[in-house]
Structure 1
């Protein structure tokens, strides 16, 4: 029985460049005509590409069986496509059992093993199916990241009388008992509980922290809000995190709703669970680069963060449908200011969910956005399962990942005097073993040509995407006249 009315907000949840000599300098000034601003070099993991391996309300059955079996069946294709890490949906039992997407946390220790909330399996399958899927990915060199939800719990087993009000705050886990953990949750472990569209405060007048970022970051999100200023809860979630990591042989984590969790706890959890050898990315849904930078500082740069501002930049491009100024892509997003910490994405399960408060899909020019995140010099790009498999972009994304692996290396250049309202140009100079590239994105309704001074001297270039026919030749200064089709993208690379 649903005992909480979950809020809609959650569930519906430089300088002048002598390019001819390839000797750019690190002073940001307005470039001379057709020159470029040097903006960086390849990051330490130039090939890495993550995939979000699910979407909101994935089917409970697929042609391969459960969702875990579906992912296992696709592990070979994804590995061969260049996916280096898979982000799994919540692996634990949710309050609605086999129908729950998992963000309504009930029992973190039940990974599809115990008969609770009406089923043994989670929405995604059983524990054995989950472990088989993970083994399949890891055997192919693909790392596995688990979705971690530590802000709240829902669908309690029994009510407690709190100041004369019966509240659903008791978790005894009768189907699991004391297996893996004997910790039982009661009202003593929570800051407050949301019931019947109302908050009931527990254990003191204050929450773990007061709102900040003009109220965009705040503690009480939904359900039974875990109180992390107390040690018992901290120790239990740290113990669980280490248990889960060992149980599933995890390589990393995606931390849900971190801006709603007491930051000192997040930092301690990362120190004691993630350590130095695993990866973590936090979902701090802040559409403000300065706020993301501040949050990164608050967490001591312990984890990466999703580049939410860049997603909304792509959304503006999409909504403009050709009228948006493409110069808005210059030096855009959290990837520009914090490239080593930024996980870039185009869409995810929240932005693609029509019933959700974060619904903001990139409908137009989605491949332009993917070209941007996959071929630029900063950020760890994340591809969305539905784009790859259900929205018909798989073959195009495979080609871009191939180009990323083969060409996206070396010094990077923003062409601030070439870019205009319709066309965005960017290049990578390559290195001793990779030829580099020049990408062009065009949201205009007509094809375009641009004269660009590239790092490629006396070279013949082809569009490796296959979108544009013919070849382009550059002169002794690297100059060439490059073209891109209407509402399309091109990635020009020197021929071997």
Structure 2
């Protein structure tokens, strides 16, 4: 039986993870000769609202596949409250840009026809699509309804501020543009547990949300470590104690979406801290069982910097349900590793660089590598967003090397780092990372085989991958070559590392500066590798198959459409 204390749970989980969390994903990381997986977040917050995003992604698929992307995390493409919306203010699950609703047909991302074309092309290139599923709430109700509700404290959700009274809220969703097509369910007050608006008041009360008197309580199957209960997030909160709501969402995820998008390979569950985990387990299990031949990827956006809480959440799900979570602790650790570079003026001199030997301490990828989606950034952490946590550009490529070229975890590359981040006015605010496509390609070609680690200096770490020793596919000889990586967050450095005796006598060179960074592998399989300053360097054999593929990626996605 697992221990009850969270601190003990982390230790127990780490020690028992290979049996407790055995899954096809973990096996794929450790064995076989399949190409490495690489997720790609297919959007950033300020993608132009021109309804051409699905078309741009379709045109980009060949290039993304060439550098190793196996699955694209799509933005929430269900109908939202307005056409310029990113989709998190969701109105109708079943409208993917098909119906005239909310004064528009297409979503910000494009029409349903464009989405299906993207899916068909993804099937052609053998790439999966992971849908961003926003299931915790709805927005943009069509009509108001009167109901009994209780005012509760926004900061302490279990603290009532009033007796039940009548309010009037926008909780009637009739989906008149769609009618009964795909689903006949119309949402009413009984499908919601809370809302943030009472139209009977001329001035809305600050710090107040409304718990419906019918529900009487928030779901207990959510994160309760914050605000007493974190069921309510925003807009109108859905109540998964409602059987017809549960059935309707099940139908959407199990039947409607897989039949609409043949390339659908997973769901990213938005705001998982606010979502009923018991229903989620049933939902994902039903999807998995209904389509067993699809290689499903389920990612819970349980954004939590605390490892004990992350592990406790993952332990709630069946062992045979391959649910993953974002490694927020690792993202924060990578950010902190560059924090001295972010300091301004005189403060930089007082800010000591972080000791990188402990970079992976208390991270999900260290405790449960098969369940960790590793990332350097996302639409939520990009500058200007609610979880802003932007690793310094000088160290950002090193951070990507850490998640892409190591054996553990499933890396997710951010659109804004591959194609650039736009400002709210449409201009480019942050350019693409110049070497990121090559790092992704290096993962696809060379990051295989035994991993040896050299985390023995405070500001310079390294590791090597020996390459596959047996069963190297005849058409993919590069999988046997291996690679060596060295990264620094202060001053650069040089390391002697082993790449395996079978590489003795080979000349290895940096992927980008062939002449400046060369090393001869000694008889015992060791060699010297260096990085010139803050950043990273990747070495491979100078005549390795596949080196001619580097430097060819087109980062100008907006020039295509």
Q: Structure 2 length normalisation: TM-score?
A: 0.76
Alignment partners' CA distance in 1, 2:259 and 2:283: 15
- Cα distance, 1:155 vs. partner? 1.1
Alignment partners' CA distance in 1, 2:64 and 2:399: 20
Among residues 373, 390, 403, which one is paired with 2:442 in the alignment? 403
- Cα distance, 1:215 vs. partner? 1.8
Change in Cα spacing, 1:318 to 1:406, as seen in structure 2 (3 Å) is same
Alignment partners' CA distance in 2, 1:397 and 1:49: 13
Instruction: Report if aligned partners of 1:467, 1:489 keep a CA contact under 8 Å in 2.
Output: no
Alignment partners' CA distance in 2, 1:43 and 1:265: 33
Alignment partners' CA distance in 2, 1:246 and 1:441: 45
**Residue range with higher mean Cα deviation, 228-237 or 345-354:** 228-237
Alignment partners' CA distance in 2, 1:135 and 1:422: 46
Confirm whether residue 478 of structure 1 aligns to residue 557 of structure 2.
no
Confirm whether residue 137 of structure 1 aligns to residue 182 of structure 2.
no
Change in Cα spacing, 1:213 to 1:410, as seen in structure 2 (3 Å) is farther
Confirm whether residue 338 of structure 1 aligns to residue 368 of structure 2.
yes
Report the equivalent of 2:494. Answer: 449
Confirm whether residue 237 of structure 1 aligns to residue 249 of structure 2.
yes
Report the equivalent of 1:111. Answer: 96
- Cα distance, 1:481 vs. partner? 2.5
Report the equivalent of 2:47. Answer: 58
Alignment partners' CA distance in 1, 2:85 and 2:193: 24
Instruction: Report if aligned partners of 2:463, 2:497 keep a CA contact under 8 Å in 1.
Output: no
Change in Cα spacing, 1:46 to 1:213, as seen in structure 2 (3 Å) is farther
Structure 2's unaligned 5+ residue stretches are 1-14, 16-27, 149-165, 198-203, 342-351, 421-429, 473-479, 545-561
1:366-409, CA deviations, whole angstroms, 9 ceiling, x for partnerless residues?
Answer: 10011011100011111111111125446522222222122211
Confirm whether residue 489 of structure 1 aligns to residue 491 of structure 2.
no
- Cα distance, 1:170 vs. partner? 0.9
Report the equivalent of 1:23. Answer: none
Alignment partners' CA distance in 2, 1:147 and 1:212: 20
- SS of the equivalent of 1:47 reads coil
1:325-355, CA deviations, whole angstroms, 9 ceiling, x for partnerless residues?
Answer: 221324562111111111111100000140x
Change in Cα spacing, 1:442 to 1:70, as seen in structure 2 (3 Å) is same
Report the equivalent of 1:299. Answer: 317
Instruction: Report if aligned partners of 2:407, 2:451 keep a CA contact under 8 Å in 1.
Output: yes
1:25-44, CA deviations, whole angstroms, 9 ceiling, x for partnerless residues?
Answer: x9xxxxxxxxxxxxx97366
Alignment partners' CA distance in 2, 1:470 and 1:55: 35
Among residues 260, 270, 277, which one is paired with 1:256 in the alignment? 270
Alignment partners' CA distance in 2, 1:213 and 1:465: 48
Change in Cα spacing, 1:210 to 1:134, as seen in structure 2 (3 Å) is closer
Report the equivalent of 1:91. Answer: 77
Confirm whether residue 71 of structure 1 aligns to residue 30 of structure 2.
no
Among residues 128, 143, 147, which one is paired with 2:132 in the alignment? 147
Report the equivalent of 2:357. Answer: 327
Report the equivalent of 1:180. Answer: 182
1:111-166, CA deviations, whole angstroms, 9 ceiling, x for partnerless residues?
Answer: 11111111111111111111112222221121111110110001111111113311
- Cα distance, 1:212 vs. partner? 4.4
Alignment partners' CA distance in 2, 1:234 and 1:346: 34
Change in Cα spacing, 1:348 to 1:74, as seen in structure 2 (3 Å) is same
Q: Alignment RMSD, CA only?
A: 2.3
Instruction: Report if aligned partners of 1:41, 1:409 keep a CA contact under 8 Å in 2.
Output: no
Structure 1's unaligned 5+ residue stretches are 1-25, 27-39
Change in Cα spacing, 1:331 to 1:438, as seen in structure 2 (3 Å) is farther
- Cα distance, 1:461 vs. partner? 4.1
Report the equivalent of 1:284. Answer: 302
Q: Structure 1 length normalisation: TM-score?
A: 0.85
> 5 Å matches for 1:428-443?
428-432=465-469, 433=472, 434-443=480-489
Change in Cα spacing, 1:459 to 1:194, as seen in structure 2 (3 Å) is farther
Change in Cα spacing, 1:461 to 1:191, as seen in structure 2 (3 Å) is farther
Report the equivalent of 1:123. Answer: 108
Report the equivalent of 1:227. Answer: 239
Change in Cα spacing, 1:320 to 1:213, as seen in structure 2 (3 Å) is farther
- Cα distance, 1:168 vs. partner? 1.2
- Cα distance, 1:264 vs. partner? 0.7
Bigger relative contact order (CA 8 A; separation at least 6)? 1
